[in-house]
Amino acid sequence: MVPTKEYERNRTEVLIETFIRKQLRLKAHTVTKVIEADECMLVHIDRIGKRLLRCGVCRQRCREVHDIRTEREWRDLSMRKLPLKLRYRPRRVDCPRCGVRVEDFPWAEPWARVTTALFNAVAMLARELSWQGTAREYGLNWKSVATIVRRAVQYGLKHRVRPPVHAIGIDEVSRRKGQVYLTVVYDLERRVLLWVGEDRTEEAVRPFFTQEMGKRRCQTLQVVCMDMWAAYAKLVREHAVHAQILFDRFHIVKHLNEAVDEARRGLWRQLTTQERVTFKGTRWLLLKNPWNLNRGQKDRLSTLVRWNSPLVRAWYLKESFQLFWTYKQPWRAKQHLLKWMSSAMHSRLEPFKKFVGMLRSHLDGVLAWTGTRLSNGAVEGMNNKIKSISHRSFGFRSAENFIAAIYHCCARLPLPVER
């Protein structure tokens, strides 16, 4: 497009100092000069005349400036490829409320060595990439990124919204494969992470109820969803008296699948070598839904059926159990489950008897499914996300950093506001 005369007239040249001053939204300060140094741009900032500065603690405007400190430097977002650094001699103000304090910087948090703009950019990228990758992207070292994420989490936890929680899911994740466990608590309605704690014992989870939730917020809890094997049931009865304990559907199915698997392995040990050849590779066949099998697979399954092995009984038991999830009326669901339990007890399959024993001692919490229709499946994606956080960083060496990374990626925490 050819520029019109009007366009020519409206165009104004912007000095780089003005540009940066506007970008930083400076009011009581100004950019005095911008110097191109080796591998960075130095932006010198100074106070404008006697404009009032704010207290760094309460952000109140203060009349008196106590003294001028030595020059400090802040990293800012790069300008094209050049890193930008701000330089300024902070004033200490005499705040009527707080006493002598360092002034409030409009471009950064009081403790920060980077501007809020860079802080937020790094924090956002660290939600997607590993800390190492984020550091490379912004020309920082890993430690600075770790500090930024930990600070962001601290800020976020302090400033996050805390609406009433009605349904929570408690689950566990491992930091290294199969060992060093963490307990995670999700809000099942908002599908957001509420809390992470080291270890998976009753004592380790107690702070969630006593500190994170507190007595008053525990009152609104209606459903607590967890694994039958978890040790938190007592804790829930103690702190959340109105809550119904619900044993998680996906964990129950997992235990059921394990029973099928164990029955298969028990049978395997009894087979002759010749029989083993035909049986080989049937494990997945039993774990799959029957309508997903192709013709050859169905044939193999029917061979197994013809042999009338205990495995088939195990398979039918597994399939018939699944009906339980579909009932709408609690008494029907209960009737089905009780019938199923008695037929499983007569199946002559030890693993199923064990499974029934587990159901029997947790019956209330299993039956609660029909009324609540809630499960940790709603936050299954979040558990996978945590696994991928651990993977992309090749595992975290300290639990503290891993916990910070989990909060940072899953708890939807707010970031500091750019002023």
Give contact residues for Zn ion (rule: CB under 5 A): 55, 57-58, 60, 95, 97-98
Q: Which is nearer to Zn ion, 57 or 345 (CB)?
A: 57
Spatial contact of 64 and 103, defined as CB atoms under 8 Å apart: no
Q: How far is the CB of 27 from Zn ion (least distance, A)?
A: 18
Q: Is the dihedral of CA 173, 176, 182, 186 positive or negative?
A: negative
**CA proximity to 163, closest of 220, 207, 210:** 220
> What is the rounded distance in angstroms from the CA atom of residue 405 to the CA atom of residue 396?
9
> What is the rounded distance in angstroms from the CA atom of residue 171 to the CA atom of residue 251?
10
Q: How far is the CB of 367 from Zn ion (least distance, A)?
A: 58
H/E stretch holding 200: none
Q: How far is the CB of 29 from Zn ion (least distance, A)?
A: 18
Q: Which is nearer to Zn ion, 59 or 265 (CB)?
A: 59
Q: What is the DSSP string of 23-52?
A: HTT-SSEEEEEEEEETTEEEEEEEE-TTPP
**Backbone φ and ψ of 63, nearest 5°:** -75, -45
Q: How far is the CB of 57 from Zn ion (least distance, A)?
A: 5
Q: How far is the CB of 2 from Zn ion (least distance, A)?
A: 56
Q: How far is the CB of 114 from Zn ion (least distance, A)?
A: 24
Q: Which is nearer to Zn ion, 58 or 82 (CB)?
A: 58
Q: How many CB atoms lie within 10 A of CB 196?
A: 22
Q: How far is the CB of 55 from Zn ion (least distance, A)?
A: 3
Spatial contact of 412 and 382, defined as CB atoms under 8 Å apart: no
Q: Is the dihedral of CA 170, 284, 358, 368 positive or negative?
A: positive
Q: How far is the CB of 92 from Zn ion (least distance, A)?
A: 11
Spatial contact of 365 and 247, defined as CB atoms under 8 Å apart: yes
Q: Residue written as tokens 């205990």?
A: 310
> What is the rounded distance in angstroms from the CA atom of residue 72 to the CA atom of residue 88?
6
Q: Residue written as tokens 């940072």?
A: 408
Instruction: Please report, as a single letter, which amino acid is at residue 303.
Output: T
> What is the rounded distance in angstroms from the CA atom of residue 184 to the CA atom of residue 225?
12
Spatial contact of 372 and 244, defined as CB atoms under 8 Å apart: yes
